[in-house]
A and B are shown apart, each in its own frame.
Chain A
């Protein structure tokens, strides 16, 4: 699914959150949206689903293929959500319903959008669990019985079960440790590529972004400050905001890439 956002303005209670944002994602492309906390990243993703808070005013255009999301009827939006657009959330522990089993959770989008028998649903949930690297038995477990990484795998399975054409990953790795982060990013990108879907990957962490996307937009207080190939932005940030984000990522990646060696070097210097 191709995505085209043009002149997007979002204001909540008179405060401008996003101003004149424009971004485009080609069919099958993985694009990043990076910015520090409060820069309006999540609001853009919510606007794409038509799930902005009630007191938000929005203008501009968000085209998902040939559908205009801004101002669309609730029924059309409900059909879009979960069926053509899948969402992976930031905090897997909180975004899974504590009283629903993993199987119910993953099967929810299917239940909402497709007229399948229980057996068919179970079969698909089982297949999806295998795809995200979880055992079939996990389906009867409750979210609190899983580790953070497993929970996010469930989140990914939920987002992808209907084979959506567009995935919004809203900081899917922020709540995870660095080891799980890498696994989750790799899993997500490979599944998205296999499905041929396009993806908007939202994060504040360049090290994750470099792994997940080919092109990116840098968002600074609601405005797109810079855009380009992720590798180029990472190598040569042009705006102060991207520079800050890149340097933060660099210090983190150096530690984790060189591992023990660099940590040792650090202590020698001190």
Chain B
């Protein structure tokens, strides 16, 4: 446990040792890294972040540099993944696209988390009218297909990121609420919530510091699934013309422009397809690995570090 000594203990909070957010995150990441699939998902996601950042200042070719003499070109030194139908550099477009997809995923996850948790809290609140009707209402709402919702939204909004984020976030939020409801109810009716109530905690505090921390494992899995599905949905909706507007780089855009000639130039469509597949798989695994790493009950490293950090503190 030589790693543990690097973690600095900042403050105690009611007897709790706080490593600060960074310290705790470091332990969780280390635990994830120790697993094979954890390495995979962390590398892919880190690469995604780095590429998205780099694309802000640099891409191998300008996005708008088209070359009429080299359309559908094979990979070469000047075009690492070849060119598309307008002679634009596929690699550059994929790099720039990673930015759009990252934005979509972050916004969708944030929106679905907020919306889902709002529903969950309404469902577990003691005096909520939603509490009894909730299951029926949510099951009914879940039956609305994301694509249909996106089509309706696209009428006033046109093709835009907003359409993807709202349509996906709405559906995923409902899903999150449905999946998280049982464990949230279990937490809400548990003895430790009763104990917190008997100690004078308010309903809001019960929700934020007792119920939500206890459903984090469910949230982690569900939100990372949502993130993966959002990447897929972006491709699908963009292909239908109601997702990312034309001219804005995204993986779905790269797929949509090359997929029509898949029989003639299969290699061009392979790249965006590969990127989407690898990222979606990584996102799905991410939640799984995160769930195991973030929970002090299943992750002994979080506890061991707590104990050794305490000794460190006393010295």
Q: Among residues 272 to 315 in chain B, which have CB atoms less than 8 Å away from a CB atom of chain A?
A: 295-297, 303, 306-307, 309-311
Are A137 and B310 in contact, with the CB atoms below 8 A? Answer: yes
Is A122 interfacial (CB 8 A cutoff)?
A: yes
Most chain A CB neighbours (cut-off 10 Å) among B13, B15, B303, B309: B15
Sort chain B's interface into a size bin.
35 or more
Min CB gap B202→A, angstroms: 6
Are A158 and B15 in contact, with the CB atoms below 8 A? Answer: no
Most chain A CB neighbours (cut-off 10 Å) among B198, B297, B311: B198
Are B297 and A98 in contact, with the CB atoms below 8 A? Answer: yes
Partner of A81, one of B15, B199, B210: B199
Partner of A78, one of B127, B200, B213, B310: B200
Q: Among residues 167 to 196 in chain B, which have CB atoms less than 8 Å away from a CB atom of chain A?
A: 190-192, 194-196
Is A222 interfacial (CB 8 A cutoff)?
A: no
Are B310 and A96 in contact, with the CB atoms below 8 A? Answer: no
Are B199 and A140 in contact, with the CB atoms below 8 A? Answer: no
- Which among A1-9, A107-115, A223-231, A243-251 touches the partner chain? A107-115
Are B307 and A95 in contact, with the CB atoms below 8 A? Answer: no
Are A98 and B200 in contact, with the CB atoms below 8 A? Answer: no
Is B149 interfacial (CB 8 A cutoff)?
A: no
Is B247 interfacial (CB 8 A cutoff)?
A: no
User: Residue-by-residue, is A70-101 near B (CB-CB < 8 Å gives 1, otherwise 0)?
Assistant: 00000000111111010101110011111111
Is B260 interfacial (CB 8 A cutoff)?
A: no
Partner of B199, one of A82, A100, A125, A145: A82
CA gap between A79 and B200 in the complex, in Å: 6
Are B14 and A140 in contact, with the CB atoms below 8 A? Answer: no
Most chain B CB neighbours (cut-off 10 Å) among A96, A102, A140: A140
Residues on B with C-beta less than 8 A from A110 are 14
Answer whether A98 and B214 are a contact pair too, CB < 8 Å, given A81-B197, A81-B198, A141-B303. yes
Residues on A with C-beta less than 8 A from B198 are 49, 51, 81-82, 85, 87, 89
Is A32 interfacial (CB 8 A cutoff)?
A: no
Are B14 and A96 in contact, with the CB atoms below 8 A? Answer: no
Are B14 and A108 in contact, with the CB atoms below 8 A? Answer: yes
Min CB gap A123→B, angstroms: 9
Residues on A with C-beta less than 8 A from B127 are 54
Are A103 and B190 in contact, with the CB atoms below 8 A? Answer: no
Are A51 and B297 in contact, with the CB atoms below 8 A? Answer: no
Min CB gap B214→A, angstroms: 6
Are B14 and A119 in contact, with the CB atoms below 8 A? Answer: no
Are A89 and B201 in contact, with the CB atoms below 8 A? Answer: no
Min CB gap B45→A, angstroms: 25
Partner of A94, one of B14, B192, B197, B303: B192
Answer whether A112 and B307 are a contact pair too, CB < 8 Å, given A91-B191, A125-B15. no
CA gap between A161 and B108 in the complex, in Å: 44
Answer whether A83 and B200 are a contact pair too, CB < 8 Å, given A91-B191, A142-B297. yes
Answer whether A108 and B13 are a contact pair too, CB < 8 Å, given A54-B126, A101-B306, A141-B307. no
Min CB gap A109→B, angstroms: 5
Answer whether A137 and B307 are a contact pair too, CB < 8 Å, given A97-B214, A104-B14, A122-B15. yes
Is A30 interfacial (CB 8 A cutoff)?
A: no
Min CB gap B72→A, angstroms: 55
Is B35 interfacial (CB 8 A cutoff)?
A: no
Residues on A with C-beta less than 8 A from B14 are 103-104, 106-108, 110-111, 118, 121-122, 125
Are A109 and B199 in contact, with the CB atoms below 8 A? Answer: yes
Are A89 and B200 in contact, with the CB atoms below 8 A? Answer: no
Min CB gap B301→A, angstroms: 13
CA gap between A218 and B217 in the complex, in Å: 45
A sample of 8 cross-chain residue pairs with beta-carbon separation below 8 angstroms, ordered by A number, consists of A81-B197, A90-B191, A94-B190, A95-B192, A96-B192, A97-B210, A121-B14, A140-B310
Ranked 5 nearest A-B pairs via Cβ: A103-B15, A107-B14, A82-B199, A95-B191, A139-B15
List residues of A whose CB falls within 8 A of some B CB.
Answer: 49, 51, 54, 78-83, 85, 87, 89-91, 94-104, 106-113, 118-119, 121-122, 125-126, 137, 139-142, 144-145, 155, 158
List residues of B whose CB falls within 8 A of some A CB.
Answer: 11-17, 126-127, 190-192, 194-202, 205, 210, 213-214, 216, 295-297, 303, 306-307, 309-311
